[in-house]
Amino acid sequence: MLDLKGYGPALLNGAVVTIELAFLSLALALALGLIGAAAKLSNNRIAVGIATSYTTLIRGVPDLVMMLLFYYGGQVGVNMLSDYIWEAYEVDFFFQFDPFISGVVTIGLIFGAYMTETFRGAFLAVETGQIEAARAYGFSSWHTFRRVMVPQMLRHALPGIGNNWQVLLKTTALVSIIGLTDMVRVAEEAAKAERMPFHFFIPVACVYLALTAGSELFIKWLDKRANVGVIQENG
């Protein structure tokens, strides 16, 4: 059996941290993506401008730089804010900006931008006739969005969401750089201490492989379900 030199439990905890981080950031990214897509497709020029600059900015900057900015800058920003609140309202407010939060915020923000594009494309793929029909039945625009647009757009968005999720999962490895003890961090410390890099990094790589392979299967299954009732070109 694989002898992990007593680092086994720490690695397992790290894996749990990685998975938690991935799911929380996914939730944030999906929410931001929906908001962003709705803003991009709206008629409000300010909303379109904000959403467009958001996606352009995010896609121009490396994820690591963004993460460092949020991690090191986040605390300074929070301190500035709490100083201000103390001076203005005499309210004691403090908030520790830890690596986990900055990881979730950064990864969520980055993939929110990619999700925005995915959802935008998917919304555009919904036939306009469907929306007109919903309107003709007297649906309000919120109702049209929730009952007609979202269920039909999900089918088109799934492959894109799947791709983004695969990339997101691998991006979570970066939080080890800002000091979160995820499995990459534990493996790095163990590899340095024991001078056995292959011994610790290859199992971690295998965990990532298992996660990506597992989610690939799950997405395929979801995709099949979402496309029930739609004739596929190449089945």
Partner 1 sequence: MMPDFLASWLDQNDIFNAMTIMEYWDGAVTTVQLVFVSLIIGLVCAVPLAILRTVRNPFVSGPVWLYTYLFRGTPLLIQLYIIYYGVAQIPGIQETFWWEIFREPFYPALLAFALNTCAYTTEIIRGAIMSTPHGEIEAAKAYGMNWFMRMRRIVLPSAARRAVQAYSNEVIFMLHSSAIASVVTIVDLTGAARNIYSRFYAPFDAFIFVALCYMVLTFILVFAFRKLENHLLRHQRPVGS
Q: Does 66 bind partner 1 (CB under 8 A)?
A: yes
Q: Rank residues 59 and 224 by Cβ distance to partner 1 and give the closer one.
A: 59
Selection from 170, 41, 171, 172 nearest residue 118 by Cα? 41
Sign of CA dihedral 161, 65, 205, 182: negative
Distance CA 10, CA 93 (A): 33
Q: What is the largest CA-CA distance in the chain?
A: 70
With beta carbons less than 8 A apart as the criterion, state whether 118 and 160 touch: yes
Helix (H) or strand (E) holding 77: helix 63-89
Q: Does 198 bind partner 1 (CB under 8 A)?
A: yes
Q: Does 195 bind partner 1 (CB under 8 A)?
A: yes
Of the ranges 28-36, 66-74, 81-89, 139-147, which one interacts with partner 1 (CB under 8 A)?
A: 66-74
Spell out, one character per residue from 9 to 48, where the chain touches partner 1: x when CB under 8 A holds, - when not.
Answer: ----------------------------------------
With beta carbons less than 8 A apart as the criterion, state whether 67 and 103 touch: yes
> Of residues 129-188, which lie at the interface with partner 1 (CB under 8 A)?
170-174, 176-177, 184, 187-188
Interface residues toward partner 1, by CB under 8 A: 57, 59-66, 68-69, 72-73, 76, 170-174, 176-177, 184, 187-188, 191-192, 195-198, 201-202, 204-205, 208-209, 212-213
